[in-house]
DNA sequence: AATTGTTAGTATCGACTCGATACTATTATC
DNA sequence: GATAATAGTATCGAGTCGATACTAACAATT
């Protein structure tokens, strides 16, 4: 009953956003999912830029994601390089072209317009609510949170005060800790 | 920038919901969109149960919606009858089978689980935030709001105290005013 | 009453999605 | 060194979705 009400809004929101994304992308031959992948790659960190991470993030199968990535690569919107330590894994990154296109198309106009019509306070409230809902959905279904390193329990400081990840045991730059990570676990 | 943050959460939410819907429906041969159409028909009023209304609600083209409806009809999940006054328009309604199936599949488990893990207060806040965002998106893009009659500027009372719609100039039942309407316009 | 225009909806097509299944290559484990 | 696990690819088929072109019913105008 309570989740039913929520569902009403969420479903519509989701469908409207998708349609708008589709309209944005179509002029450039891009599908909604493709824009989502590009967007993910623009906000993830260097441990999370692999096909598998995209798979976990989107909740699709690896086969599906593999195809999407292939197309984006062929379009020259992203580049892949094989990991130096584990030759099974690829790292993906936007090309300048991909990055530029993403900036123009995302967020789609409908959302941008909506935000222009909302007060700053309202935007913050909505943002918090959405975040809370995403968290709840992920947590209650045993999925990865993909939070930023900054809020991760593995995030610490090295002896000289630099950011340090206790999981992968490496230093993180200021840029790193603001990106989302597939290994993220909320601090206790 | 502010809309960018919002977009992060919204896009993920949207994708997760869709994937979950897909998983729910697949066992019964139903696609996400098909479930969305069934759901819409379960909450709309008798002036809004036409293919065109579905089209406006989902933001797709009428051709696309026409196909979806055709499939649902063939599966025996919805029934159509031609309008008595205007033979161009069809009215759609769930069959008992469709209604039963919908109850089992929507909302999808991921959302239900999430709600179970949230306090009542949090659910209300999230619900309000989502509603506000949907409204803003629709309004700033000149789209129809699809609100419930109860909150509509055309909604009034007839001489004997019954609900009355000043647009279509007809009485509305207690059930009617709780359903969403394609002619809805927010009260001033 | 015939003409023209609009509205509701359908039919068909092609590019694309997405999961399922089966596969390869590399790394981990015992 | 054999086996299992992991990261990813290839292929296929059912289905989505917009574009285009269409029909049928109604509305407006002369």
Q: What tens-digit pLDDT sequence spans chain B (188 residues)?
A: 456 778 999 998 998 899 999 999 988 999 999 999 999 999 999 999 999 999 999 999 999 999 999 999 999 999 999 999 999 999 999 999 999 999 999 899 999 999 999 999 999 999 999 999 999 998 888 888 888 888 888 888 888 888 988 888 888 888 888 999 998 888 76
A64 CA to C17 C1' in angstroms comes to 8
Give this prediction's pTM. 0.91
Torsion of CA A56, A60, A64, A69, to 10 degrees: -40
* CA distance between the termini of chain A: 32
Residue A62 forms part of a structural domain: yes
B68 touches strand D (CB under 7 A): yes
B85 CA to D22 C1' in angstroms comes to 24
Tell me, yes or no, whether B149 and B70 share the same domain.
Answer: no
Chain A, 79-138: which have a CB under 8 Å from a chain B CB?
106-107, 109-118, 120, 122-123, 125-134, 136-138
Q: What is the pLDDT of residue A1?
A: 47
Torsion of CA A88, A93, A98, A102, to 10 degrees: 110
* Counted domains in chain A: 1
Protein residue minimizing CA–C1' distance to C12: B63
Token pair for B39: 């759901």
Tell me, yes or no, whether B98 and B14 share the same domain.
Answer: yes
Closest CA to A54 of A125, A121, A146: A146
Min distance B86 CA to chain A CA atoms (Å): 29
Q: What is the pLDDT of residue B3?
A: 65
Residue A148 forms part of a structural domain: no
Tell me, yes or no, whether B132 and B108 share the same domain.
Answer: no
Tell me, yes or no, whether B142 and B61 share the same domain.
Answer: no
Q: What is the pLDDT of residue B1?
A: 47
Tell me, yes or no, whether B109 and B79 share the same domain.
Answer: yes
Residue A48 forms part of a structural domain: yes
In the DSSP assignment, the letter for residue B177 is G
Which of B88, B117, B146 lies at the terminal end of a domain, its last residue? Answer: B117
pLDDT by residue for chain A (188 residues), tens digit each? 456 778 988 998 998 899 999 999 988 999 999 999 999 999 999 999 999 999 999 999 999 999 999 999 999 999 999 999 999 999 999 999 999 999 999 899 999 999 999 999 999 999 999 999 999 998 888 888 898 988 888 898 888 888 998 888 888 999 989 999 998 988 76
Q: What is the pLDDT of residue B188?
A: 62
Q: What is the pLDDT of residue A3?
A: 65
Residue A84 forms part of a structural domain: yes
A167 CA to D5 C1' in angstroms comes to 21
Closest CA to B21 of B111, B113, B115, B123: B111
| Cβ neighbours of B140 in A, within 8 Å | 110, 113-114, 116-117
Residue A9 forms part of a structural domain: yes
CB B101 within 8 A of CB B39: no
Q: What is the residue range of A60's domain?
A: 1-117
Q: What is the pLDDT of residue B74?
A: 94
Cis peptide preceding A107, ω within 30 of 0: yes
């Amino acid at each position: 009953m309570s989740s039913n009400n929520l569902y009403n809004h969420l479903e519509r929101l989701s469908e409207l956003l998708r349609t708008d994304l589709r309209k944005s992308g179509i002029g450039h031959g891009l599908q909604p999912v493709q824009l989502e992948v590009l967007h993910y790659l623009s906000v993830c960190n260097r441990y999370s830029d692999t096909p598998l991470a995209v798979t976990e993030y989107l909740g699709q199968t690896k086969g599906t994601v593999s195809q999407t990535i292939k197309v984006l690569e062929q379009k020259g919107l992203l580049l892949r390089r094989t990991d130096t330590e584990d030759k099974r894994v690829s790292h993906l990154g936007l090309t300048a072209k991909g990055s530029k296109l993403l900036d123009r198309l995302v967020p789609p106009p409908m959302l941008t317009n909506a935000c222009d019509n909302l007060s700053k306070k309202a935007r913050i409230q909505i943002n918090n609510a959405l975040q809370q809902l995403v968290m709840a959905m992920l947590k209650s279904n045993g999925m990865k949170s993909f939070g930023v390193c900054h809020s991760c329990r593995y995030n610490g400081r090295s002896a000289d005060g630099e950011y340090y990840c206790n999981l992968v045991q490496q230093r993180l730059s200021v840029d790193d800790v603001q990106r989302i990570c597939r290994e993220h676990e909320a601090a206790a």
